[in-house]
Amino acid sequence: MTTSSNLVYLIALPLVSSAILLLLGRIADKWGHLLATLVSASTFVIAAIEFFAMRQRTGDARAVTQDLFTWISVGSFNVHASLLLDQLSICFVLLISGVGTLIHIYSIAYMSHDHDRRRFFAYLNLFVAAMLLLVLGDSYLNLYVGWEGVGLASYLLIGFWNQKPAYAVAAKKAFVANRVGDIGLSLAIMIAFAQFGTVSFTGVAAGVPHASTAALTGLGAMLLLAAAGKSAQFPLQSWLGDAMAGPTPVSALIHAATMVTAGVYLITRSHFVFDASPTAQTMVLIVGGVTLLFGALVGTAKDDIKKALAASTMSQIGYMILATGLGPVGYAFAIMHLLTHGFFKAGMFLGAGSVMHGMNDEVNMRRYGAIGKVMPITAVTFGLGYLAIIGVPPFAGFYSKDKIIETAFNAGGTKGILVGGAALLGAAITAFYMTRVIVLTFTGTKRWDDEAHPHESPSLMWIPMVILAIGSVASGFLFNSGRALVNWLAPVVNAAGVHSEKEFLPATTISLMALGVVAVGVAIAITKYRTVPVEAPAGNILTKIVRRDLLQDDFNDRVLVRPGQALTRFFVGMDNSFIDGIVRGVGGVIALTSTNLRRIQNGYVRSYALIMVVGVLALLTTIWMVTL
Amino acid sequence: MDISNYLYLSAILFTIGAVGVVLRRNAIVVFMCVELMLNAANLAFVTFSRVNGDLVGQVASFFTMVVAACEVVVGLAIIVTMYRSRRSASIDDASLLKR
């Protein structure tokens, strides 16, 4: 372990900048966005310096810690607010600050017409600070602070245009769904404290071998619930689609590249729990597998470009969660897919934002068509992201997704075939819906109104898109060459000790199978969307169900929301009739008593005197009776 | 002479005073009845002083007299002011504190 004093700046700089922008108010309007972008860029510089310093060191010395202060000290329970930067967190720190900076730059142009741009950048910086704290905390409690912080920033940014009631509702929905997950994380922290007496990662890892299976399964299930909430995994996935109400850079940064991957981070960070509890690991596998198919299916029917991409994000994170559920061999591939996904999905979201920017904020892909001709840079960068996500070699997604499919098949037995089959099917559907997005948006015939004048976005917007596109092209190859990322992460996720299982099928066969299903998906999409009606056709019952997000909202509404509201109404009635009845009854009795007592006070001195005489006589009689 | 006769007298005087306070309407008469009650108490003090053979009761009666004198001053002033303002010395008329 090495100590460093630079880590705190990673969090402090964006936090202070956010506070400055929020507190100064309109004074900071002119330069607020510049300060925020500068601060974000400087966190990236610090992260890069730390990364290169880390590469110089070897072995255990690579991880860096910084102890800030004693946060809680109660008896034998001590929590230090301290930061840990190891091989795993540096991946996240670089992704967050790197993609974050690009999106700051993009937002300068994207939000230039919004008179609340300063507030937007303040929230973005707040998000960067909270997200960095999330990945830098060295205990579950420190992580929890960042976890809640990103939830807050996400809520504020989804509801950034909260003058539209629907957007405010979307923000609230995201917040409530996240709360369910947050309860999971707080319960996990409580279980960890009850079992191990500590909440630090190292402490919990050390205690795991002595813990009971039930406790570990409970801990794993709660961590999974937390991950499902933050990462929009089944069954808490319903908020992500509505979260697209936020400005597009927010969707790119928070709801595609970084925050929604916090669940993957949490599971990878807690790998010792899941490695020790096969039940919990199986639950992770199921959640990942269900979500990757769920998201992919939803993506096939969305006409809103951002919602299609959101469904795709859900599905891709499903892949990552699935990979983490495969045990030590999977963690590195989950992180690899997370990083490549960060590039290509953020790039595609920025591309979608660029299209919307040129199309008067139109999001319906049926009203796009042939945009590739007028927005060539957007089309090319989006296209590179597209090739990456569907997994065409040598683009980034090929390496990461292929590895996940391969590892899934190698899990062995029925489990391997089920999980691998789900991943393979997901890849086919991904190819279908992403091709659909491309075909509907960039090729075909022009379907937009005559009032729309699509044009290429300013350079501040396309430069980040180009950089992310380069990442979508090259990152997979870089991470995979010489198993660079796997070896890099091995000390953290204990993958070194894993002896590879018997291969289910040769890696090349699986790659070819994956490419085959991708080709099928692409071919179906191209044939099906040769002509695109501007109004969506009615479709059969299945299409309708998929359009309604596989009835996720209807289910939540019927099963959770309405009974919840009925219960609330019941309690309100109880409060009004019973509790308030008691309170009003007490008041009523006192009022009645005093009304009657008031009659004694008639103002006549003689009657007061009589009462005194009678009282004294009564008192004397009582005393006499008692002493008798 | 039996000493308890003094106490009976004291009790009778006190009762007359108390009944007067309760029954009479004229403030002056009520006032006089109050004085009567005080003097009944004084008589009891002096009697007990005699019974006990010390001077404590007699001293107490002096205190009572001083208090009674003060009360006369204040009480008469109130009655005079009351009479001036409403041309009546009836205490039943002075019942404004009722509400």
The number of beta carbons lying within 10 Å of the beta carbon of residue B69 is 9
Round to whole Å and give the CA distance between B64 and B81: 25
Please state the pTM of the whole predicted model.
Answer: 0.79
Strand order in the sheet with A64-74: A2-3, A64-74, A77-85
Instruction: Please report whether residue A359 resides in a domain.
Output: no
Model pLDDT for residues A361-371, shown as the tens digit of each residue: 888 888 887 88
The residue behind tokens 């109050």 is: B34
Contact assignment for B21 to A606 by CB distance below 8 Å: yes
Instruction: Please report whether residue A182 resides in a domain.
Output: no
Contacts of A602 in chain B (CB under 8 A): 95, 98
Model pLDDT for residues A142-174, shown as the tens digit of each residue: 999 999 999 999 999 998 988 888 899 889 989
Is the CB of A606 inside 8 Å of chain B's CB atoms? yes
Round to whole Å and give the CA distance between A35 and A339: 27
Pairing mode, if any, of strands A2-3 and A64-74?
parallel
Tokens of A517: 């299903």
Burial class for B95, CB neighbours closer than 10 Å (0-12, 13-18, 19+): middle
Instruction: Please report whether residue A610 resides in a domain.
Output: yes
Average pLDDT estimate for A221-249: 89
User: Quick one: how many helices (H) and strands (E) in chain B?
Assistant: 3, 0
Query: Pick from A572, A560, A571, A563: which is nearest to A173 by CA?
Result: A560
3-state secondary structure A49-70: HHHHHHHHCCHHHHCEEEEEEE
Is the CB of A597 inside 8 Å of chain B's CB atoms? no
- pLDDT of A536 strictly over 70: yes
Pairing mode, if any, of strands A64-74 and A77-85?
antiparallel
Model pLDDT for residues A114-125, shown as the tens digit of each residue: 888 899 999 999
Give the nearest partner residue to A603 out of B22, B24, B96, using CB atoms. B96
Is the CB of A599 inside 8 Å of chain B's CB atoms? no
Model pLDDT for residues B26-81, shown as the tens digit of each residue: 889 999 999 999 999 999 999 999 999 889 999 999 999 999 999 999 999 999 99
Round to whole Å and give the CA distance between A152 and A429: 33
User: Which residues, 6 or more positions from B4, have their beta carbon under 8 angstroms from its beta carbon?
Assistant: none
| Residue A272 host element (H or E) | helix A271-276
Tokens of A573: 């009635």
User: Which residues, 6 or more positions from A317, have their beta carbon under 8 angstroms from its beta carbon?
Assistant: A231, A232, A233, A260, A261, A263, A264, A291, A295, A341
Contact A234, A181 (CB under 8 A): no
User: DSSP H helical segments within A443-506, as ranges?
Assistant: 459-480, 484-493
Q: In whole numbers, what is the pLDDT of chain A averaged over residues?
A: 87
Average pLDDT estimate for A353-376: 84
Residue A492: what pLDDT? Answer: 82
> Between A and B, how many residue pairs show a Cβ–Cβ distance under 8 A?
30
3-state secondary structure A103-126: HHHHHHHHCCCCCCHHHHHHHHHH
Contacts of B93 in chain A (CB under 8 A): none
Residue A599 C-alpha, separation from nearest chain B C-alpha, in angstroms: 9
Contact assignment for A606 to B22 by CB distance below 8 Å: yes
Contacts of A610 in chain B (CB under 8 A): 22
Q: What percent of chain A has pLDDT over 90?
A: 30
The number of beta carbons lying within 10 Å of the beta carbon of residue A245 is 24
Contacts of B98 in chain A (CB under 8 A): 601-603
- pLDDT of A436 strictly over 80: yes
Instruction: Please report whether residue A605 resides in a domain.
Output: yes
**Number of domains forming the structure of chain A:** 1
Burial class for A235, CB neighbours closer than 10 Å (0-12, 13-18, 19+): middle
Contact A495, A332 (CB under 8 A): yes
ipTM value, please give it: 0.84
Residue B24 C-alpha, separation from nearest chain A C-alpha, in angstroms: 8
Contacts of A595 in chain B (CB under 8 A): none
Give the nearest partner residue to B95 out of A604, A609, A613, using CB atoms. A604
Tokens of A437: 């997005």
Instruction: Please report whether residue A615 resides in a domain.
Output: yes
Transcribe A170-193 into DSSP letters.
HHHHHHHHHHHHHHHHHHHHHHHH
Cis peptide before A209 (omega within 30 of 0): no
Residue of A nearest to B25 (CA): A606
Residue B53 C-alpha, separation from nearest chain A C-alpha, in angstroms: 26
Instruction: Please report whether residue A614 resides in a domain.
Output: yes
Give the nearest partner residue to B18 out of A602, A604, A613, using CB atoms. A613
Which candidate in A604, A610, A613, A614 is best for mutational testing of the B interface (most B CBs within 10 A)?
A: A604
The CB-side HSE value for A500 (13 A sphere, CA atoms) comes to 10
Residue of A nearest to B23 (CA): A606
CA A496 centroid distance within chain: 30
Instruction: Please report whether residue A50 resides in a domain.
Output: no
Instruction: Please report whether residue A622 resides in a domain.
Output: yes
Q: Domain range holding A570?
A: 557-627
Which candidate in A598, A601, A602, A606 is best for mutational testing of the B interface (most B CBs within 10 A)?
A: A606
Transcribe A245-285 into DSSP letters.
GS-HHHHHIIIIISGGGHHHHHHHHTHHHHHH-HHHHHHHH
